[in-house]
Amino acid sequence: MSKQMTGAEMIVEALKDQGVDTIFGYPGGAVLPIYDAIFQQNYVRHVLVRHEQGAAHAAEGYARSTGKVGVLLVTSGPGATNAVTGLTDALLDSIPLVCITGQVPTHLIGSDAFQECDTVGITRSCTKHNYLVKRIEDLPRILHEAFYVAARGRPGPVVIDIPKDVQFATGTYTPPRGVQHKTYQPKVKGDLEKIKQAVALMAAAKKPVFYTGGGVINSGPQASMLLRELVKLTGFPITSTLMGLGAYPAPDPQWLGMLGMHGSYEANNAMHDCDLMIAVGARFDDRITGRLDAFSPGSKKIHIDIDPSSINKNVAVDLGIVGDCAHVLEDLVRLWRANAVHPDKKALDAWWGQIESWRKRNSFAYKPSKETIKPQYAVQRLYELTKNRNTYITTEVGQHQMWAAQHYHFKEPNRWMTSGGLGTMGYGLPAAVGVQMAHPDALVIDIAGEASILMNIQEMTTAVQFRLPVKIFILNNEYMGMVRQWQELLHGGRYSHSYSESLPDFVKLAEAYGAHGIRCSDPADLDRAIQEMIDSPKAVIFDCVVDKAENCLPMIPSGKAHNEMILPDFDADLGAVIDDKGKMLV
């Protein structure tokens, strides 16, 4: 039904028509008409964040845990620039967002007006697409198109910059009508001939490995189901990137654990020694490949990805299949069954024998302690005490993030929210706010570090205002741990500015926010304290005081190959591992 209304009303109407029930935002001069329209309705809930970066990460958490498009609303100028980090984060991790920014009225654009910035210019390289709406006639189409672009193909953030006069103007609203974009029509079905070739390669493989990524999660729960079916059918081992955790259940014996810089010994060696790599929705990022010219030298590579530019970008592959993971996996499963493929059982058994010998190295091991809480132990206990609950995990960025990825075992997709590509400290708390808004009855835990959490600590107020019982589980080692670890590796243990000086008392901080604070430093008391956190009906800041010197291992040092990992039982000088060339890398 076409209706006459103002631009601001159109925005709320379009959100409703797109099925958006929750948005995250912060008001300001250039979005006041939209806030007025929000005030006068009850369908769209607005969550007031305390910083626009928080709005973006909250929308990411909401999107990643639901599979829906996350929406944020911010004002012009600083509102838009504050959102840039979150938009970039969403771009790198392929999270669908629609970000509505206010803009100064059209006649003031270019005059350096108060709170004016070139939002479309600034966000051009950190969004999948962006729009400046200069005419009310274009607004309904652009609003619907933005949701289409954000969610289709490889998902990503879309900005709609709307000048204040366009928000006040009256025009005709048109509801979405099966938007068929004239240029943007991503290919979702894979080329059947190539899929047949993939089945033939898989049937002949002697040392295969599945390497899966966030694309499987983005493709929807169906993709994870099909992946599980294909892995079971073939009997092949499977590893995944940080972003792909949960697509395949971690307790399963065919699961090798995460791969990459802090991945397991068995996963990385399987990648190095395999004769066939089947990459599904993963993008051969530098944290995965390590040294490129020594990356899996003897394998044929199949790469399934919805983004043609991901194929052959970092690593040349033998067979690239452009398509949505779920569609391609469905065809692979169907053809595998139809052809009644029997892989070389003897070769596979030998391959599994090799993998089991790597697995015996127990590369995530650490030296237990009765005196101090080891960070790995803390995550393990957290997992044991929450694994049978409806739990969602977010993280900040650093050592705690890697320990969480290593020791928290995910069984389902969409349960793990982390900043992978951009590595944004301060992601976890606002993301947890977004997750908890979408899943009010779930247990939502932000596994954090004491440095990261302070980057967006203001969102505690949001959590308390909306009675969101998010649990912040801080592995507090009083260091920016990953920075400290790299300084030990690369800079002779000169810990330049990586000590977390003048930390707040996190228990008192929690109380100041109206939340519940817990501190624990005794391994014997840890289970009880974690249980107290779980049982609290409030938001909780848990200050888990852990070993200060623990390094995150295993590790592929920068500039090294998959089969040159530092294992936990490494007892030589860490500072001598990386050569000068490796020191240049990030």
Partner 1 sequence: MNAPASAPSPYSSALGKSNIESHTLSVLVDNEPGVLARVVGLFSGRGYNIESLTVAEVAHGEQLSRITIVTTGTPEVIEQISHQLERIVPIHKVTDLTVFGKSIQRELAMVKVRGKGENRVEAMRLADAFRAKVIDATTESFVFELTGRPDKIDDFVELMRPLGLVEVSRTGVAAISRGPDPI
Inter-helix orientation angle 7-17/32-39, to 10°: 60
Query: Which residues share a beta bridge with 475?
Result: 449, 544
Task: Choose between 549 and 585: whose C-beta lies nearer to partner 1.
Answer: 585
Q: Taking contact as CB under 8 A, which single stretch among the options 33-41, 127-135, 418-426, 454-462 is the one that binds partner 1?
A: 127-135
Task: Give me the least distance between CB of 315 and partner 1, in Å please.
Answer: 6
Task: Give me the least distance between CB of 538 and partner 1, in Å please.
Answer: 44
Is residue 313 involved in binding partner 1 (CB under 8 A)? Answer: yes
- Site residues for partner 1, 549-568, by CB under 8 A, read 558-560
Which residue in the set 2, 111, 114, 316 belongs to the binding site for partner 1 (CB under 8 A)? 316
Cα–Cα distance measured from residue 9 to residue 36, given in angstroms and rounded to the nearest whole number: 9
Distances (CA, A) of 176 to 13, 38, 144, 335, 492: 11, 20, 6, 37, 60
Gyration radius (Cα) of the chain, Å: 24
Q: Residue 158 carries which DSSP code?
A: E
Instruction: Collect all residues with Cβ–Cβ distance below 8 Å to 118 and sequence separation of at least 6.
Output: none
Is residue 506 flagged as an active site residue?
A: no
**Residue 413, preceding peptide bond in cis (omega within 30° of 0):** no
Q: Taking contact as CB under 8 A, which single stretch among the options 74-82, 287-295, 368-376, 469-477 is the one that binds partner 1?
A: 287-295
Is residue 307 involved in binding partner 1 (CB under 8 A)? Answer: yes
Task: Give me the least distance between CB of 201 and partner 1, in Å please.
Answer: 13
For residue 185, count other CB atoms closer than 10 A to its CB.
10
H/E stretch holding 273 reads: helix 265-273
3-class secondary structure, 517: strand
Is residue 580 involved in binding partner 1 (CB under 8 A)? Answer: no
User: Dihedrals φ, ψ of 232, to 5°?
Assistant: -65, -45
Is residue 482 flagged as an active site residue?
A: yes
Task: Choose between 181 and 467: whose C-beta lies nearer to partner 1.
Answer: 181
Instruction: Collect all residues with Cβ–Cβ distance below 8 Å to 335 and sequence separation of at least 6.
Output: 195, 196, 199
Instruction: Collect all residues with Cβ–Cβ distance below 8 Å to 233 and sequence separation of at least 6.
Output: 333, 336, 337
Which residue in the set 46, 57, 68, 128 belongs to the binding site for partner 1 (CB under 8 A)? 128
Strands 3-6 and 170-173 turn out to be antiparallel
Cα–Cα distance measured from residue 297 to residue 404, given in angstroms and rounded to the nearest whole number: 30
Is residue 292 involved in binding partner 1 (CB under 8 A)? Answer: yes
Q: Taking contact as CB under 8 A, which single stretch among the options 84-92, 120-128, 251-259, 369-377 is the one that binds partner 1?
A: 120-128
Is residue 531 involved in binding partner 1 (CB under 8 A)? Answer: no
Task: Give me the least distance between CB of 150 and partner 1, in Å please.
Answer: 11
Task: Choose between 153 and 430: whose C-beta lies nearer to partner 1.
Answer: 153
Task: Choose between 57 and 287: whose C-beta lies nearer to partner 1.
Answer: 287
Catalytic residue among 68, 128, 164, 194: 164
Is residue 115 flagged as an active site residue?
A: yes
Distances (CA, A) of 573 to 364, 485, 493, 576, 579: 20, 13, 11, 6, 13
Mark residues 359-398: x for contact with partner 1 by CB under 8 A, - for none.
----------------------------------------
Is residue 582 involved in binding partner 1 (CB under 8 A)? Answer: yes
Is residue 484 involved in binding partner 1 (CB under 8 A)? Answer: no
Which residue in the set 308, 362, 383, 567 belongs to the binding site for partner 1 (CB under 8 A)? 308
Q: Which amino acid is at 31?
A: V
Cα–Cα distance measured from residue 451 to residue 399, given in angstroms and rounded to the nearest whole number: 11
Instruction: Collect all residues with Cβ–Cβ distance below 8 Å to 265 and sequence separation of at least 6.
Output: 358, 359, 361, 363, 554, 565, 567
Catalytic residue among 3, 41, 114, 384: 114
Which residue in the set 32, 108, 294, 385 belongs to the binding site for partner 1 (CB under 8 A)? 294
Is residue 121 involved in binding partner 1 (CB under 8 A)? Answer: yes
Is residue 312 involved in binding partner 1 (CB under 8 A)? Answer: yes
Which residue in the set 72, 317, 333, 397 belongs to the binding site for partner 1 (CB under 8 A)? 317
For residue 168, count other CB atoms closer than 10 A to its CB.
14
Cα–Cα distance measured from residue 38 to residue 18, given in angstroms and rounded to the nearest whole number: 15
Is residue 277 flagged as an active site residue?
A: no
Which residue in the set 36, 191, 275, 318 belongs to the binding site for partner 1 (CB under 8 A)? 318
Catalytic residue among 9, 13, 52, 396: 52
Task: Give me the least distance between CB of 87 and partner 1, in Å please.
Answer: 15
Q: Which amino acid is at 553?
A: L
Tell me the Ramachandran region of residue 246: left when phi exceeds 0, alpha when psi lies from -120 to 50, beta otherwise: left
Mark residues 163-202: x for contact with partner 1 by CB under 8 A, - for none.
------------------xxxx------------------
Is residue 145 flagged as an active site residue?
A: no
Task: Give me the least distance between CB of 286 and partner 1, in Å please.
Answer: 5
Task: Choose between 203 and 294: whose C-beta lies nearer to partner 1.
Answer: 294
Task: Choose between 111 and 339: whose C-beta lies nearer to partner 1.
Answer: 111
Task: Choose between 115 and 314: whose C-beta lies nearer to partner 1.
Answer: 314
CB 485 within 8 A of CB 553: no
Indicate which residues carry an active-site annotation: 52, 114-115, 164, 482
Q: Which residues bind partner 1 (CB under 8 A)?
A: 120-121, 124-125, 128-129, 132, 149, 181-184, 286, 289-297, 299-301, 307-309, 311-318, 558-560, 581-582, 584-585
